[in-house]
Amino acid sequence: MQNTVTPTHCPYCALQCGMNLTPAPDGTGVEVSERADFPVNRGALCGKGRTAPAVLSSAVRLTSPLVRSEGGALVPASWEEALDRVAEGLGRIRARYGADAVGVFGGGGLTNEKAYSLGKFARVVLGTSQIDYNGRFCMSSAAAAGARAFGLDRGLPFPLEDIPRTGCVILVGSNPVETMPPFLRYVTELKQNGGTLIVVDPRRTRTAEQADLHLAPRPGTDLALALGMLHLVVAEGRTDEAYVRERTIGWEETRAAAMAHWPEHVERITGVSVPALREAVRMFCEPEAAMVLTARGPEQQAKGTDTVGAWINLCLATGRAGRPLSGYGCLTGQGNGQGGREHGQKADQLPGYRKLTDPAARAHVAGVWGVDPDTLPGPGRSAYELLDALGADVRALLLMGSNPVVSAPRAAHVEERIRSLDFLAVCDVVLSETAALADVVLPVTQWAEETGTTTNLEGRVLLRRRALDPPEGVRSDLEVLHGLAARLGGGRNPGKGFPTDPEEVFEELRRASAGGPADYSGITYRRLAEENGVFWPCPADGPPAAGSGPRPAYAADAEDAADPADAEDAEDAALDALPDDPARADDHDAGAGVHPGTPRLFLDRFATGDGRARFVSVSYRAAAEEPDDEYPVLLTTGRVVAQYQSGAQTRRVDELNAAAPGPFVELHPRLAERLGAAEGDPVAVVSRRGRAVAPARITTAIRPDTVFMPFHWPGEGRANTLTNPALDPVSRMPEFKACAVRLEAVRP
């Protein structure tokens, strides 16, 4: 263990708060202390961040590989035996059924280096198209809508520091006071500066309590709400006609669609009154600048892309995008949800946020990898579709950093599919509910035991530093992939193509991303250490014109009819700008013309062929599953402040469990009275997919037609037993946020 203070970042949410780690006085582990120099949190940490070192303890984590014995139990094994078993299992299935019978499922908590290596391993070593990750369940709808409108998706196209300086913020389906508590300071500063906050949420959350205006629509109706506000913008003459004319296309069709959603009609759909709609429009339009920030509420719907698109349309119609202190952004949830999808874990993407179907992109990445572009498989299934195919088309699975038995929609079905696999290997730090079903479990290093990069919700690339040695018997995910590649790679790309040193992997990632939308080629470990992070895009070929947004040549829209040869030339130029020897990368940094990174996107142009943003005409449609006589209530799901995602790690921390010991069903007093349930009574929530039981929590903070359950727990209180896997046609996001249920009293 090092004897000095190690500056690093929290392992949990996408704020990636800065923290310092110091050796514990007893010589075991580390302690967290304030790191005030990091601008995102300025030293503030939530309970999860403060207690993160607890999961480093050998008492709660895996310290030896486990293999399934002939008797059916998981028993300790050596690393050689465990890796041999994984290689044999994956290789056997691939040889018998073909490459696509082997699947890979990643996680939004993996570092950029791990995500990059995992995508490369799937496509080069296994040759499979069947790879996706749990980030598909996080912000894929926002990503799809942002790319569709702006030509590029980055969670926030501006730094967090801009939020307190704008005039109005609309938070849609977001509860950051509980999901990312240090964010509260931005809300507080916004109001201190005279700005206003509008919160859209069916529950009166702790965030909604901070709002100047709280709109509580029925779950699944955010799309109608946004369309109703756009209708009023047009009707009240609040559109920015000059901006629309000069910086957008597609307004006429979008305006016509919005005019079909008059306020009284929207009130009937959403339950939000017409006066409240008018007040929201006034608050949003009167200041010189304003923002809309969405999170899982509008995104985790079977129409999530259109819902986010409707909020983007509102920003575009009022001139609130691509201008200082204005814009649309997404509050990414997972720690590396942004970087995790940029570098190859998604079914349809290659490193640098390149499209897998783009010939120039395939040629560029294949050149970095030293393979023939024709050997790279095409796009595979999205996350839920991949999980649904397990045991049938996909017979073996390598899973890294995810716990779908708890986190996936229709979770009982997903658990059944996982159990039906011929072979399952899991890399994790703890024995999660999914790992407990595996044939082989590989114990891997955690955030404080390894160096690597993550990309936070602002698009700020950060360096996490190793502060202590992992326990004996634990290896990094990079070492796992190296060992498996050496066993499985054969002549295609053996273990030497999968370095175990994260900086070496990052140097390759830089080359693979060069010229792409998420261009990291001008970023190095040295810069990250010295500059407290660098915003992408950051090409290696010097600074852009002031305020310009990125426009990768290969990513031209179809109507631009770009010449693929020109695209390849542009990519080659970006690649040639990198130093050949990674050891000389620091010298490259020190030279003139270093790109500063891009904190603010789109100020001069959008990342489309003509530089204009695209309005996309959308119309309201109901949730995939509406209440009826048999299932008369809507269920929505979410998080609590003391737990994180599937709870695999936070449920092992005593302090966090004391604050949030288990699941609950939040319901309105009128609904509880009809059910005959008192506070704390067990209540069964039943959907068409299953049944969950948890204690009642009775509150007027929720709509009478809606119940809420947090999704952090397995067992009979597993909320995702109930949720609907209906998929958005664009993003393939499941509809976590709205499904029809009935309630049943559970009598002793």
Q: Please write the tens of the pLDDT for every residue from 425-449.
A: 999 999 999 999 999 999 999 999 9
Element containing residue 696 per DSSP (H, E): strand 690-698
Structure confidence at residue 544 (pLDDT)? 57
* CATH entry, 140-330, from 3.40.228.10, 1.20.1280.50, 3.20.10.10, 3.60.21.10: 3.40.228.10
Q: Please give the Cα distance from 169 to 326 (Å, whole number).
A: 9
535: β partners: 460
Instruction: Give the CB-side neighbour count of residue 528, counting CA atoms within 13 A.
Output: 27
Structure confidence at residue 26 (pLDDT)? 81
Q: Please give the Cα distance from 537 to 338 (Å, whole number).
A: 13
**DSSP3 helix / strand / coil % (the chain, rounded to 5):** 40, 20, 45
Structure confidence at residue 3 (pLDDT)? 61
Q: Report whether 300 contacts 735 (CB < 8 A).
A: yes
Helix (H, G, I), strand (E, B) or coil at 609: coil
Strand order in the sheet with 30-33: 6-9, 18-23, 30-33
* CATH entry, 66-137+337-519+523-545+553-590, from 3.40.50.300, 3.40.640.10, 1.10.1060.10, 3.40.50.740: 3.40.50.740
For the CA atoms of 719, 724, 725, 731, what is the dihedral angle to 10 degrees?
-100
Helix (H, G, I), strand (E, B) or coil at 427: strand
Q: Please give the Cα distance from 179 to 197 (Å, whole number).
A: 17
Q: Report whether 155 contacts 458 (CB < 8 A).
A: yes
- pLDDT tens for 70-113 read 999 999 999 999 999 999 999 999 999 999 999 999 999 999 99
Q: How far is CA 453 from CA 40, 260, 289, 509, 520, in A?
A: 16, 47, 33, 11, 11
Q: Which tokens is 267 given?
A: 């009130």
* Sequence spans of domains, the chain: 66-137+337-519+523-545+553-590, 140-330, 633-745
Q: Please give the Cα distance from 733 to 305 (Å, whole number).
A: 9
Structure confidence at residue 615 (pLDDT)? 98
350 closest CA partner among 511, 498, 540: 511
Structure confidence at residue 436 (pLDDT)? 98
Q: How far is CA 539 from CA 368, 530, 575, 589, in A?
A: 16, 18, 10, 12
Instruction: Give the CB-side neighbour count of residue 431, counting CA atoms within 13 A.
Output: 17
Using a 10 angstrom Cβ sphere, with 0-12 exposed, 13-18 middle and 19 or more buried, the burial of residue 576 is: exposed
- Please name the residues in contact with 603: beta carbons below 8 A apart, sequence gap of 6 or more: 322, 323, 324, 547, 548, 549
Q: Please give the Cα distance from 577 to 317 (Å, whole number).
A: 40
Report how far Cα 587 is from the mean position of its chain's Cα atoms. 34
Average pLDDT per consecutive 10 residues, the chain (748 residues; last block may be shorter): 82 96 87 94 95 94 97 97 98 98 96 97 97 94 97 96 98 95 96 98 96 97 98 98 98 97 98 98 98 96 98 98 96 89 93 96 96 96 98 98 97 98 98 98 97 97 96 97 90 68 97 96 96 95 52 32 39 46 40 83 96 98 97 97 95 96 98 96 98 98 97 97 98 97 91
Q: How far is CA 362 from CA 214, 365, 490, 505, in A?
A: 47, 5, 22, 19
Q: Please give the CATH architecture assigned to the domain spanning 633-745.
A: Beta Barrel (2.40)
Q: Report whether 18 contacts 29 (CB < 8 A).
A: no
The predicted model scores a pTM of 0.92
